[in-house]
Each structure stands twice: as structure tokens, then as C-alpha cells.
Structure 1
């Protein structure tokens, strides 16, 4: 997990994007490593892709919180965007070729652990939240 987060912090830095991580959860034993890694990989990949299109350096950031609450793993990822996301049935969708598979994978993983998720836009910020 640390390796993935570190790799994405480096990738974001190369693209002049700040990632502000806050990680207080430490017990991931009840989740498979590939599932948690895939969930974070896809969430961070999508966030970096969206933020990379923003011209204003001050707006190029991603806030990531991973914490435990009531014995559940909680993920909160927020980023600005240049192109407002389009939603269908509560999920962000894209018409771009080779894109859109990650969201479906994220949903499958959260549902596998009987978790809940939401993708929302609020005050110019895209927010992904999951509890599993």
C-alpha cells in the first residue's frame, strides 16, 4: 500500500500536482492486498488524470484521507477538475477510449466487502468516498 501511494505521490509531483495524504488506518488484514491496491490505484489514477488538465498550479491538488471508523476502512479522495464530470446512475462516465474501466472496478471492490461508496461533485471539487 505504501508503495502505491508513494508511486502516485511521485507521479503527481512529476506533473506538478500536490497530493495531500492523511493516512491513519493501519489494519487492512480483512481486505485482500490486490483489492485495496486496485481501489487506490484506480482512484488516484483518475484524480491525477483530471487534475493534470488544470492550468492554474494553485488548483492542481489531490486530498486523500484513509482512516478507520467503527472498525471500517474509510477512503475520502478529493480533487479539482477542469472538465465537469458527467454522471449516469450515480457513476462518473467518460466517452474517451480506453477509459472508464477503473470506476467499475472500484465499485466492484467496495461492493465485494459490503461497503458503500459515492462519487459526487460539490463546489467545483470531485469527491470519491468509500466505506468498507
Structure 2
């Protein structure tokens, strides 16, 4: 199960990096867009320029990762889920102070963040009030440990058995098990809790000497 999760994380990273390359190419071709707009300006067609700028900005926003920290993998994943949260009507806030290099594999890091964020955004999007549809993420290195805290609002009941939240639908729950397995493999911890409408995931991974 963990191998399948990590394979999926690797595929997701490949896709995200292609998106990043597309963004770089789009920025490189900006001179062509400027030439097109200069031609429109020569025609005196202001409305055409406005529409072209609107479409161009939308295209750039769709493929440009937001910079959350120094770590490329974290930026790609956080950018993806920031967009997904926005589309789902969820406000995602992040405070990720992570360096460029972290001594765990990119696929494991992707699996930890993606599984946690997918569950958080899904739960928050189901909340009835717009003010409750929130997800927050904090990540940092402290005393040579990778620390991640995710919190999201939820409604209904969350049952935690043997330290893991129980899936409400058959075929779900693999993400939380994957998070726990990765933490355990590194001699760390993944703690899930739910109280007063707030679900929290706390991850601590020792990074070695």
C-alpha cells in the first residue's frame, strides 16, 4: 500500500515539475505577447488589449507555482492544493519555513503533504458556513526534526481508532495510513486528533545527525 502511495506521489511530482517548466517557457515567451499587444496598441484597440491581458494573466496564474518557501517540492505541492482549495471555496493559509534540501525523499514528502491536504480540503469544503471552510498548514525544521501541523474545520463525527481516523467510505483511509507508515519508517510520529470542530494532524520526523 505504501509502495503504491509513493509511486503515485512520484507521478504527481513529475506532473507538477512539467507544469513548472511550462510556466518558465511561458515567461520566456513574454516578449511575443508584448509584440502582439504593441500591434493592438498601434491599431488603437484598447478593448482587445484588455481581453488579451486578461487571458494571458489567467494562463500564467494557472501554471505558475506560488512560492511558499525555499523547497521546490513543497512549493509545487502547496501551489497545487492552494488552487484546489480556492476552487472548493476553502481558504488555505500556509506558514512553511523549509529549506531547499530536506533529508527525506521527495516522494515521501509529497505523500505526507498531499494526503494530509487532500483530506483537509475535502473536510473543510463540506462545512456549511463559508467562514468555517478553512485549512492551515505550518511546517518547519526544529532541533533537526521536520515538524508539520495541519488543521481544518470539519462537521459531523470523526472516529479515531488505534490512532487513525476511520474512513466513512469504503476504499478511503489509505492516505492517513500512508502518513503514519512514513512517519513510523523514519522513527517519527503522526498524531491525528479531532475536537470541537477542528481536525489536526501533527507530524514529527527526525532528520538524523
TM-score range, shorter chain: over 0.9
Aligned to 1:77: 150
Aligned to 2:193: 120
Tell me which protein shows more strand as a share of its residues.
1
Question: Is residue 32 from structure 1 mapped to residue 105 from structure 2 by the alignment?
Answer: yes
TM-score, normalisation: structure 1: 0.95
Count how many residue pairs are aligned between Structure 1 and Structure 2.
132
Tell me which protein shows more helix as a share of its residues.
2
- Unaligned 5+ segments in structure 2 are 1-73
Question: RMSD over aligned Cα, in angstroms?
Answer: 1.1
Deviation at 1:121, TM superposition (A): 1.4
TM-score, normalisation: structure 2: 0.61
Partner SS, residue 42 of structure 1: helix
Runs (4+) of structure 1 exceeding 2 A deviation are: none
Partners of 2:101 and 2:134 lie apart in 1 by 26
Report matched runs for 1:8-19 at 5 Å: 8-19=81-92
Partners of 1:59 and 1:28 lie apart in 2 by 34
- Unaligned 5+ segments in structure 1 are none
Partners of 1:80 and 1:28 lie apart in 2 by 31
Rg comparison, structure with higher value: 2
Greater relative contact order (Cα < 8 A, sep 6+): 1
